[in-house]
Structure 1
Amino acid sequence: MTRLVTIFGGSGFVGRYIARRAAAEGWRVRVACRRPEEAGFVRTYGVVGQVEPIFCNIRDDASVAQALNGADAVANCVGVLDESGKNTFEAVQDEGATRIARLAAADGIRDFVQISAIGADADSDSAYARTKAAGEAGVLQHMPQAVVLRPSIVFGAEDEFFNRFAGMSRFGPVLPVVGGETKFQPVWVDDVARAAMAGLSGTAKPGIYELGGPDTHTFRELMQQMLHVIRKNRFVANVPFGIANLMASGFGAVRALTFGLIKGPITHDQVANLRQDNVVSGTHMGFDDLGIQPAAMEAVLPDYLWRFRPSGQYSTVKESAKKLRNQI
């Protein structure tokens, strides 16, 4: 019988790539998410009826149990970068992950993949990092055979990293960043999905994997490479952490006064996260242990950032024409 995988957060950035790969490998895929009516696009990843989006609230036992019914494997991709209402870091990344693992264990499910993040640390100044670590601990308590994946910053066509800053570059000659010298090891989203499939299929050794791309760059260097891809000249200005915290306080006040309707571009927790390098430590397993050669950032960025170029999809054509004219 065809195996069934339940992917919590399967319509999100990382989750949709896992869903696509699972469907391509012949799995039946259940995409558990908060808004299944907006996740219809996942149905196209397989044949009719192979991929099904369903409603699930990971803060509720009954909802999670229903999503797990009949599943052979589970992937939890749910996470938040910013708290909103009841979806706090603790409720989603700690209690939610632990709840899924506890109920999966009760159902006798063996293969479990938890998407965490490099920097997960119970002693971190960042609530995001602390609750990621707490979620890992809760998962491993109930599912000691689980595969925990800790990617560095994840990039891809739907990312909220390069797309966000490329969009910001439209508004002036200066591109501000917080933590310009902080190091990252960007990893392609489909490589993370490949690692997740190794865990779901039971071919990966249980434990923690740190996933980083082939190159390490500072935040400033990443922005410079992104600007090169989109053919724009901007000054990348580093915002000191002290000023960033003052900005976060101001944006936090505006958010409180508008009851959350207006959200600022930076929070105190994000500033705390940006103080720490986001790279593979070498103390855990990685892509090599999975037999995966991660893709280079330079090979992927042009495939989706072209829309931010001055001439969009025609930029390369114009550049080629210009070179040809110069040769005549």
Structure 2
Amino acid sequence: AQPAPAAGPAAPAQTAPSAGSAPAPTGPSAGSAPAPTATPTPSAGPRKRATGIVDARYTVSLRFGRPGKSEPIAGLERLRPLPSAKDPFFVFIGVLRGGKVARFLVSSDVKTTGDATCRPRRSLCQTIDMQPGDSQRFEFDLGPDGVRRFEIDLTAIRPATGRAGAAASRAQTSGAPGRFDVLRADVRFGPRPEGSGSSRTRRDVARLASFPPEGAPVVQFLGALADRRTAIFMVAPGVTPAGTRACLGDAECRVLALRTGEGATLRSAAGEHRLDLLSLRRTIARSATAAGRAHRREHPAGRRTMRTFISDRHTAWAFSRFSFSPLTGTVKRR
């Protein structure tokens, strides 16, 4: 913080006019100069609420890593995941308008302590706002995989310079809002042969949605891989995929990996069904909050169906090989 400016010579005391009377006109006496006005000293107050609008004309430097083993990172790029794209626990959203606050997206199940401000509130920390000099510690409980701990020390926020600064300035003045990718899956599912019933197309399928939506589920949508081209489906106990081309890595074929235009035939006691991935498309959310809601969206009955699936030993093992990242809305293989 800059030191407060020194006050000039004190102005002579003036008597306030009484209510209802006008002050008598006054002027400087002969040979005297008007008294200078004292400059008010700014006082330290509470932090102002951040605007939420990202300003691309700034860059940040910080220290990041395990407690006691953090390393410096200079010129952190916007939307960069930390520690890596394959292992994202944080996403740097950017510097907010005014150049005083850096915002990060974090998993809402994190335990965190330090100087940062949690949004929307401390008990539900989906994003954090940090100012230079702030330090923050984070603890993620990964269940069977243990606990991961990180710390962030924000060292500086500076105007971007050079080519990067010029490009950022052009982007900022263009008026384009922040862009956050969200994946949408479109699926067609129905009985075979097609004449035995109507296939249904379901667009923007929620994670953990099952097919068919009524009756005993045959398959469940687990999510998209981080490559953003592959959709993962879990096969219900007692259901056998015809052929193994779409099976992902296990002899029991509890997992199907489909890309756009690919499909699989599923056989069960109820007959044959056909599953086709029509598209895995990228859409744009206009804010980190909207993207976070879309990433975490799941079918209301999805958890109940999942518990039914994992009552089978082979299916439970297949489920255990995947984890979900609420920061990116994707799944990854352990």
- TM-score, normalised to structure 1's length? 0.22
Q: Which has the higher contact order (CA 8 A, sep 6+)?
A: 1
More helix by share: 1
- TM-score, normalised to structure 2's length? 0.22
Q: Bigger radius of gyration, 1 or 2?
A: 2
More strand by share: 2
